[in-house]
Amino acid sequence: MNDSGPSSSRYTPADLSDEELVVRAKRELLHTTVAYEELMRRYQRTLFNVCARYLGNERDADDVCQEVMLKVLHGLKQFEGKAKFKTWLYSITYNECITQYRKEKRKKRLFDALSLDSQEEAQEEPEPLAGSGGLDRWLVHVNPVDREILVLRFVAELEFQEIADIMYMGLSATKMRYKRALEKLRKHVVMPL
């Protein structure tokens, strides 16, 4: 393949690995966003699903996805490749979800403190992920950290080491929290064999 420089677009982004796209995106970013767009296209659906399941509604998930994509665009030049791109992406996603979750929690406390009926406001929101099935209903039975471990495992399909890296936890602690979260779910939900 003849590549005459950063502005060359004589390659098929879909044929490249994440690592190859990262290298190209770093070179191209001042000139074009072809490689960056392919990276985002690959992870867009899963990224949205992770955010929606963690945050509980599609509107917040969409906002967080947009923020994550901007952070990736601006941070790609500094990405050193010590971890897989996928792990780095979900690390950013995890941090943005936590920020959004805390923001919503503060907003709810403010509504409660002002004696506003936050239940009425919640009912005005569209039903979150109405058609997505059992996982969303099950996740309400675990705390936010365990929920994120389950989402990263089942939705993002990450390995335990990748989850541990993203959440800044040890591997054994991650596995233990995962196991306990599943046990807690089994108490609340009849899981198919």
Say yes or no to pLDDT of 124 above 70: no
**Poorest-confidence range of 132-136, 152-156, 166-170?**
132-136
In the chain the domains, ranked by start, together with CATH numbers, are 13-188 (1.10.1740.10)
The pTM (predicted TM-score) of the whole model is 0.61
pLDDT tens, position by position, 25-58 = 998 877 888 999 999 999 999 999 999 988 888 9
**Confidence at 118, pLDDT banded by 50, 70, 90:** very low
The average confidence (pLDDT) of the chain is 79
Residue 147: the pLDDT is 85
Both tokens of residue 44?
Answer: 């867009």
Least Cα distance to 54 among 105, 102, 99, 97 occurs for 97
pLDDT, one tens digit per residue, over 72-101 is 999 998 999 889 999 999 999 999 998 888
Contacts of 183 (CB under 8 A, 6+ apart): none
Q: What is the pLDDT of residue 44?
A: 93
User: Is the pLDDT assigned to residue 123 strictly greater than 50?
Assistant: no
Gap between the terminal Cα atoms of the chain: 50
Contacts of 14-20 with CB under 8 Å at 24 or more apart are 14/38, 18/42, 18/84, 18/85, 18/86, 19/81, 19/84, 19/85
pLDDT, position 108: 67
